[in-house]
């Protein structure tokens, strides 16, 4: 261990603890942002964790010319112990943490320090953004709780604070940190989530400043910790820390806090780690026993039912399969609903049924969620085939469906499309002949144009001659993945060979995306016909506050959808509520 420079006794306002490891390419820029852009009395305690590049040389040069920099070589291994050692060496009234490859914007520490001194709070939290060579984005833009200045709050009063568990966008009273014996664990990943939750729970008074106080760099290549999140060691490390967080928060009163925490864990943090583990596990040729399935089960045993119920069925199934170490089936489910921005790849319906039957005995997948999963990936998949099922495939499906006929007894949500009804009833009744009948499945019709106005959308299509002979052609709307929402919204009428239908905003009862399709009949059999459109054929003819609009950034041919907004009054009320949280 080596202390390169010290300026003797002194009590700076802030001690900035900076662990470093192979950040030679960025550390000069980081130190510049600390020493040249912060108009506060501070020291920077750099603790180098066995860098193999020129990081130590660069840091030592800074320490030699600026007495505010105190440079140490870490006594142990890992970022956690480096931060802990930096805290031991710190002399400031307040503590801050920074990573050596990131930046602190001008005035950040002054804003947090002013709030802390005015309120006497033990912790101050500020806003942050992430950036890379190509883009900058704000994770907090989707969260409430970070946009307004507040002093003297608590975690229970402002539960959204639990969504942010990084150590670097905040300021702590050093005596508070030491009194609560807060320390960073020596784990390879997620070593700040437990100390941050510990601090949030223990703090009797917390300030929030809307100022931008940290710029987090997404590093290129595979050298950063974030880029290695899918490795089994990283997922194990994360789960070990998340289990501790769940137990820390368990005794804390506050339904909104519990809901916020579990929604974040189940739908975001744990989910991101789990899906990476599942994909890597399924691709591995030789799989050694892993502790992760048992850890996932342990975490789920602590979950709040309300947050779990809000997960889409596919996520519940993947979690259940992960506890069984059924990575192959879990990966197929991930691929089937396109999680993580990948193009969906439909599951073989027999494979989907086997995955459902495997997950069901865990008791984790809620009954209604399981029915929706089976409907989407078995019934709708078979109904969408353009060729009859092979006899062997049909026999296998009937045998599997016979193990849980209750899944096929009734429509999901009380309404379904004609093809879906025939397939569901055939599986319920073990009717091989009906199951193997050629399903009348029309090709998608390309709409000529879609004009979206303030409160209505007009669709124009040129129909094949075979369809124009139908007695009636209805334009229907439904929410994707929710057949129970389907409803007729307009009759198509022909003029000069073009068929048109009008969708009123009032015909769509709830906000969100609505897909449009046609309902007609072929030889007396009801058939729904998908509608697609080229993105360039969509025209918006209203201001930004129209009740209807379209969403999505894809180019080329896309499913025909409209998006119903909330009313202007409702949007204003929601904005006001967010500001008050």
Of the residues 178, 195, 224, the one at which a domain ends = 224
Q: What angle do CA 373, 333, 560 make, to 5 degrees?
A: 70
Of 133-142, 198-207, 241-250, the range with the lowest mean pLDDT is: 133-142
Contact status, residue 456 vs residue 504, Cβ threshold 8 Å:
yes
The highest-confidence range among 274-283, 311-320, 546-555, by mean pLDDT, is: 311-320
Angle, helices 349-359 vs 313-323, to 10°: value is: 60
Instruction: Confirm whether 50 is domain-assigned.
Output: yes
- Report d(CA 150, CA 125) in Å as an integer: 10
* Residues 103-149 pLDDT 10s: 999 999 999 999 999 999 999 999 999 998 888 988 888 787 788 89
β-strands 94-97, 14-20 pairing = parallel
Last residue of a domain, one of 183, 203, 224: 224
471 domain residue, yes or no: yes
Pairwise pLDDT comparison (231 vs 426), residue with the higher score: 426
Matching residue, tokens 């093809």 = 419
Q: Is residue 366 part of a domain?
A: no
Task: Decide if pLDDT at 534 tops 60.
Answer: yes
| C-alpha radius of gyration, the chain, whole number | 29
Q: How confident is the model at residue 545 (pLDDT cuts 50, 70, 90)?
A: low
Give the closest residue to 190 by CA, choosing from 139, 232, 225, 143.
Answer: 225
d(CA 70, CA 353): 62
Nearest-10 Cα torsion for 506, 510, 511, 514: -80
Instruction: Give the least confident one: 50-64, 291-305, 532-546.
Output: 532-546
pLDDT score at 523: 65
Give the pLDDT score at 322.
97
Residue 314: predicted pLDDT = 96
Residue count of the chain, please give it.
581
> Distance between CA atoms of 357 and 120, rounded to whole angstroms?
57
Domain-embedded: residue 550: yes
Q: What is the mean pLDDT of the chain?
A: 89
Q: What is the pLDDT of residues 144-166, one digit of tens each?
A: 778 889 999 999 999 999 999 99
* Whole-structure pTM value: 0.79
Residue 142 lies in a domain: yes
Q: Residue 110 is part of a domain; what is its CATH number?
A: 3.90.550.10
DSSP line for 377-427? IIIHHHHT-SSPPPHHHHHHHHHHHGGGGGGGSS-GGG---HHHHHHHHHH
User: What pLDDT sits at residue 575?
Assistant: 53
Residue 415 pLDDT > 80: no
Confidence (pLDDT) at 296: 98
Does 100 score more than 60 pLDDT?
A: yes
18 and 47 Cβ atoms separated by less than 8 Å? yes
Asked if the model's pLDDT at residue 222 lies above 80, the reply is no
Number of domain units in the chain: 2
pLDDT, one tens digit per residue, over 331-352 is 999 999 888 777 788 899 999 9
Residue 495 sits in a domain whose CATH number is: 2.60.40.10
Can you spell out the DSSP letters for 160-206? GGGG---STTEEEEHHHHHHTT------SS-TTHHHHHHHHHH-S-E
* Per-residue model confidence (pLDDT) at position 544: 59
> pLDDT grade, residue 439 (50/70/90)?
low
Strands (E), 453-547: 456-461, 474-479, 482-491, 493-495, 498-504, 512-522, 525-534, 538-540
Report pLDDT for 2: 43
Residue partners of 272: CB distance under 8 A and separation at least 6: 229
Number of neighbouring beta carbons within 10 Å of residue 353 = 23
Q: Per-residue pLDDT tens for 519-530? A: 887 666 677 788
Last residue of a domain, one of 168, 191, 224: 224
Joined tokens for residue 500: 């048109």
Q: Inform me whether the pLDDT recorded for 202 exceeds 60.
A: yes
The answer to whether residue 341 sits within a structural domain is: no
Q: Whole domain around residue 495: which residue ranges? A: 445-569
- Note whether residue 347 is domain-resident: no
> Which has more confidence, 21 or 581?
21
Would the pLDDT of 571 be above 80? no
Residue 427, domain member (yes or no): no
pLDDT one-digit tens code per residue, 292-343: 999 999 999 999 999 999 999 999 999 999 999 999 999 999 999 888 777 7
Residue 412 clears pLDDT 90, i.e. is over it: no
């Amino acid at each position: 261990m080596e202390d390169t420079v010290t300026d003797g006794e002194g009590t700076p306002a802030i001690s900035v603890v900076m662990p470093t490891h192979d950040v030679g390419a960025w550390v000069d820029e980081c130190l510049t942002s600390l020493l040249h852009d912060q108009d506060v009395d501070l020291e920077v305690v750099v603790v180098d964790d066995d860098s193999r590049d020129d990081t130590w040389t660069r840091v030592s040069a800074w320490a030699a010319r600026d007495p505010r920099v105190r440079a140490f070589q870490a006594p142990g291994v890992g970022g956690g112990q480096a931060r802990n050692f930096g805290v031991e060496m710190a002399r400031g009234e307040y503590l801050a943490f920074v990573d050596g490859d990131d930046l602190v914007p001008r005035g950040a520490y002054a804003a947090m320090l002013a709030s802390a001194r005015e309120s006497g709070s033990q912790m101050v939290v500020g806003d942050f953004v992430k950036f890379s060579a190509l883009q900058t984005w704000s994770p907090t833009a989707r969260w409430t709780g970070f946009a307004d200045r507040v002093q003297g709050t608590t975690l229970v009063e402002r539960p959204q604070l639990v969504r942010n568990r990084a150590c670097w966008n905040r300021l702590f009273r050093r005596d508070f940190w030491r009194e609560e014996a807060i320390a960073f664990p020596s784990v390879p990943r997620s070593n700040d989530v437990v100390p941050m939750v510990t601090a949030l729970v223990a703090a009797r008074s917390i300030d929030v400043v809307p100022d931008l106080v940290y710029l987090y760099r997404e590093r290129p290549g595979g050298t950063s910790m974030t880029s290695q999140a899918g490795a089994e060691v990283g997922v194990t490390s994360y789960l070990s820390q998340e289990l501790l967080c769940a137990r820390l928060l368990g005794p804390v009163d506050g339904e909104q806090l519990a809901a916020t925490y579990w929604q974040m864990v189940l739908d975001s943090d744990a989910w991101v780690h789990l899906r990476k583990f599942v994909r890597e596990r399924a691709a591995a040729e030789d799989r050694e026993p892993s502790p992760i399935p048992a850890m996932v089960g342990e975490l789920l045993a602590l979950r709040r039912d309300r947050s779990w119920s809000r997960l889409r069925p596919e996520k519940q199934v993947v979690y259940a399969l992960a506890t069984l170490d059924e990575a192959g089936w879990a990966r197929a489910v991930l691929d089937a609903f396109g999680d993580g921005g990948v193009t969906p790849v439909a599951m073989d319906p027999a494979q989907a049924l086997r995955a459902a039957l495997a997950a069901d005995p865990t008791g984790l997948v809620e009954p209604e969620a399981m029915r929706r999963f089976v409907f989407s990936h078995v019934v709708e998949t078979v109904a969408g085939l353009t060729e009859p099922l092979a006899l062997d495939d049909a026999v296998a499906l009937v045998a599997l469906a016979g193990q849980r006929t209750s899944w096929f007894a009734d429509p999901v949500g009380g309404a379904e499309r004609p093809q879906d009804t025939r397939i569901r009833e055939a599986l319920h009744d073990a009717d091989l002949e009906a199951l193997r009948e050629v399903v009348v499945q029309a090709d998608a019709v390309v709409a000529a144009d879609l004009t979206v106005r303030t409160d209505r959308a007009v669709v124009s299509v040129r129909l094949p001659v075979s369809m124009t002979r139908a007695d009636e052609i209805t334009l229907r709307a439904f929410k994707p993945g929710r057949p129970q929402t389907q409803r007729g919204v307009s009759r198509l009428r022909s003029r000069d060979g073009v068929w048109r239908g009008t969708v009123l905003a009032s015909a769509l009862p709830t906000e969100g995306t609505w897909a449009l399709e046609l309902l007609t009949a072929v030889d007396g059999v009801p058939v729904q016909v998908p509608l697609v459109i080229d993105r360039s054929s969509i025209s918006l003819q209203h201001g930004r506050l129209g009740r209807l609009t379209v969403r999505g950034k894809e180019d080329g041919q896309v499913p025909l959808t409209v998006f119903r907004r909330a009313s202007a009054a409702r949007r204003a009320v929601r904005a006001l509520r967010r500001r008050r949280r």
